[in-house]
């Protein structure tokens, strides 16, 4: 899929590739947590049948459910706490020595 057009600098071509199924599912996962809605979004992006995409979404959902772990930093008496890291930049002025 490419499109050509002429400019004052000569002909230009832009290549347009549709997303892969994994990319479409990844985008849908970022939008919603519901697997049916994810399959609907990915199917509309890809132009594939809903049932085919739903099967892939469910496969990826089972695989990611096994891998997913949550880490929580616990403070005193088991209370959760936030950790904020700030970095300050120090400006150093150098003096020039003339020759």
Confidence at residue 68, expressed as pLDDT on a 0 to 100 scale? 45
Beta bridge partners, 99, equal none
Mean pLDDT of 11-18: 79
List of residues 6+ apart from 47 with CB closer than 8 A:
18
Confidence at residue 87, expressed as pLDDT on a 0 to 100 scale? 65
Q: Judge contact between 46 and 53, C-beta under 8 A.
A: yes
Beta bridge partners, 7, equal 10
Boundaries of every domain in the chain? 2-69
Within 13 Å, how many C-alpha atoms sit on residue 14's CB side? 5
pLDDT tens per residue, range 36-85: 999 999 999 888 899 999 999 988 877 665 544 445 555 566 666 666 66
Name which residue leads in pLDDT, 87 or 20.
20
**In the predicted model, is pLDDT for residue 89 greater than 70?**
no
pLDDT tens per residue, range 51-65: 999 999 988 877 665
**In the predicted model, is pLDDT for residue 22 greater than 70?**
yes
Element containing residue 35 per DSSP (H, E): helix 35-46
């Amino acid at each position: 899929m490419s499109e050509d057009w002429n400019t004052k600098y000569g002909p230009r071509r832009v290549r347009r590739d549709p997303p892969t199924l994994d990319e479409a599912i990844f985008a849908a996962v970022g939008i919603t947590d519901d697997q049916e809605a994810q399959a609907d979004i990915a199917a509309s992006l890809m132009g594939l049948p809903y049932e085919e995409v739903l099967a892939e979404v469910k496969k990826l959902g089972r695989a990611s459910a096994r891998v997913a772990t949550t880490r929580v930093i616990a403070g005193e008496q088991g209370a959760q706490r936030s950790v904020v890291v700030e970095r300050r930049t120090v400006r150093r002025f150098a003096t020039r020595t003339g020759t």
